Amino acid sequence: MGKFKFPSAYTVLIAIIVFVASLTYIIPAGQYDRVMNEALGKEVPVAGTYQVVESTPQGFIDVIMAPIAGFYDPASYEAGAIDVALFVLIIGGFLGVVTRTGAIDAGIAQVTKALEGREKWMIPILMTLFAAGGTSYGMAEETLPFYMLLIPVVIAAGYDSLTGVAIVMLGAGIGVLGSTVNPFATVIASDAASISFTDGMNLRLAILGLGFVITCAYVMRYAEKVRKNPKESLVADQKECNEEFFLKNGAEVLEFTASRKLILVLFAVTFGIMIWGVSSGGWWMAEMSALFLVASIVIGLLGRLSEEELTDTFVDGARDLLGVAFVIAIARGIVVIMNAGNITDTILFWCENAVTGLSEMVFINVMYWIQVVLSFFIPSTSGLAVLSMPVMAPLADFANVSRDLVVTAYQSASGVVNLITPTSGVVMGGLAIGRVSYAKWVKFVMPLVGILTVFVMVMLSVATMI
């Protein structure tokens, strides 16, 4: 009998779509009345208005169509995946062009030389930057281009590809978990809960700070173990092929010429413009895609690539991330099935009933676990906020719990789940880029998920007593 092999991300996501579709035959269909919230620019459910509607079970054709609809479905609680998928493909082309110039490999050689003997400090520095992005503007899809940038540096420093994935995904993830001014989580949820997003800020800062220390220490411990003994790596069986893939020039040391230095400066400036555009300029996927497309052309010309070399390299780079684009769309198909089957509001209604009449401490912890369950099916922080907060926040008044605690429970639960859920295109996309199987990621991150869950529950419980 052959050794069991965990199925690919595609199979896992399709299986979840089939499971959710089967639930539409079991869970009664229902809907809340909705009103337009001008501040959010979206319709939000009205608490106490749930009603049973005609069942719309999702069959074979619906399951087949779900991944396709996931690209562009206008009825979901979040935008379709076509803009994110296109962004990923353009990022792939951009990275292909930059790599072709030799600038990244030459830069890696310089970084490795500079950090010799001090490689471990790279981890907290980089995780701090990603956490800052997570807590300030909900850095998620924007992390995807960083994997191909950082993993070669991490491998060259003596670690493994999983360490590189962890630095990016857990760095940004702990920032989102401890969101402070994140407009896509804290601000939207607070608006939907009819409170100021500054309410509860001290608790969120404490969760962010302590959570970051826990997460960073966890990653550093694993990384150091791998550096001392590569056989301890969870992806040790991929060591040679990963080095060949991510360090494409092998032992060849490329000269760090003036043009390559300028290319790396433009590379960094491009990401800086992206971060500014998202956080201050109101940019989203279309603007970011255009930015990286223009940057690809400029860098290709600086690298003295011919027209044919530039276009062929860009297309080849996009092709490398085609699978990631498909993963993101398939993950969105899950929400499509839930909404089309009219079971999303029913699940929310059951959650509303589950927290009625509980004591303060029990209420906030049950609320946390309800949000954990909802986050699995709705990985979008903004989508979950718009859906759940208008119903859940008013329930806090009856339990004598401040509404800002409900917002904190929501964003913490969403943050923890989005470190591991296979329904998130960001998680599955990042793993696909880093060539880390979902099974190995689960094995690595589950202890941390458990630690963070206990930590958040303790913080929420203490907050009810203050």
**Distance separating alpha carbons of residues 423 and 441, to the nearest angstrom:** 14
Q: Give the pLDDT confidence score for residue 203 in this predicted structure.
A: 96
End-to-end CA distance of the chain: 58
* DSSP H or E run through 221: helix 201-228
Give 77's pLDDT tier (boundaries 50, 70, 90): very low
- 444 inside domain: no
**Distance separating alpha carbons of residues 415 and 404, to the nearest angstrom:** 16
**117 vs 359, residue with greater confidence:** 359
**384 vs 155, residue with greater confidence:** 155
Mean pLDDT calculated for residue range 384-399: 76
Give 194's pLDDT tier (boundaries 50, 70, 90): confident
Q: How many helices (H) and strands (E) does the chain have?
A: 20, 4
Q: Give the pLDDT confidence score for residue 431 in this predicted structure.
A: 94
Amino acid making up residue 211: G
Residue 112 has pLDDT above 80, yes or no: no
Give 106's pLDDT tier (boundaries 50, 70, 90): confident
- 124 inside domain: yes
Q: From residue 313, give the alpha-carbon distance in Å to each of 70, 101, 243, 326, 353.
A: 29, 10, 21, 21, 56
Tokens of 350: 């059951």
Q: Give the pLDDT confidence score for residue 210 in this predicted structure.
A: 98
- 249 inside domain: yes
Q: How many CB atoms lie within 10 A of CB 25?
A: 12
Range of 68-77, 217-226, 265-274, 415-424 with top mean pLDDT: 217-226
**228 vs 144, residue with greater confidence:** 228
- 418 inside domain: no
Domain that holds residue 197: 82-327
- 351 inside domain: no
DSSP secondary structure, 332-377, as one string: HHHHHHHHHTT-HHHHHHHHHHHTTT--HHHHHHHHHHHHHHHHHH
Q: Give the pLDDT confidence score for residue 399 in this predicted structure.
A: 76
Report the share of the chain in percent with pLDDT over 70: 91
Q: Give the pLDDT confidence score for residue 96 in this predicted structure.
A: 86
37 SS3 class = strand
Q: Give the pLDDT confidence score for residue 341 in this predicted structure.
A: 92
- Digit-coded pLDDT (tens) for 362-377: 999 999 999 998 888 7
Residue 425 has pLDDT above 50, yes or no: yes
Residue 202 has pLDDT above 80, yes or no: yes
- Mean pLDDT for the chain? 85
- 168 inside domain: yes
Indicate the range of 35-44, 381-390, 433-442, 451-460 predicted with least confidence.
35-44
Indicate the range of 94-103, 148-157, 390-399, 433-442 predicted with least confidence.
390-399
**Distance separating alpha carbons of residues 135 and 177, to the nearest angstrom:** 8
Report the share of the chain in percent with pLDDT over 90: 41
Q: How many CB atoms lie within 10 A of CB 196?
A: 12
Query: Tokens 């100021």 belong to which residue?
Result: 196
Dihedral sign for Cα atoms in the order 365, 367, 370, 376: negative
Range of 8-17, 188-197, 213-222 with top mean pLDDT: 213-222
**331 vs 101, residue with greater confidence:** 101
Mean pLDDT calculated for residue range 239-252: 76
Nearest to 348 by CA among 130, 133, 67, 51: 51
- The distance from CA 229 to its chain's CA centroid, rounded to whole angstroms, is 30
- 373 inside domain: no
Provide the domain count of the chain: 1
Mean pLDDT calculated for residue range 46-56: 87
- Digit-coded pLDDT (tens) for 337-348: 988 999 888 887
Nearest to 353 by CA among 390, 389, 391: 391
Mean pLDDT calculated for residue range 73-89: 66
**Distance separating alpha carbons of residues 439 and 416, to the nearest angstrom:** 17
Q: Give the pLDDT confidence score for residue 152 in this predicted structure.
A: 87
- 160 inside domain: yes
**Distance separating alpha carbons of residues 122 and 207, to the nearest angstrom:** 23
pTM of the model: 0.70
Q: How many CB atoms lie within 10 A of CB 118?
A: 9
Give 294's pLDDT tier (boundaries 50, 70, 90): very high
Q: Give the pLDDT confidence score for residue 1 in this predicted structure.
A: 44
CA contacts within 13 A on the Cβ side of 286: 3
What are the backbone angles phi and psi of residue 263, rounded to the nearest 5°?
Answer: -65, -40
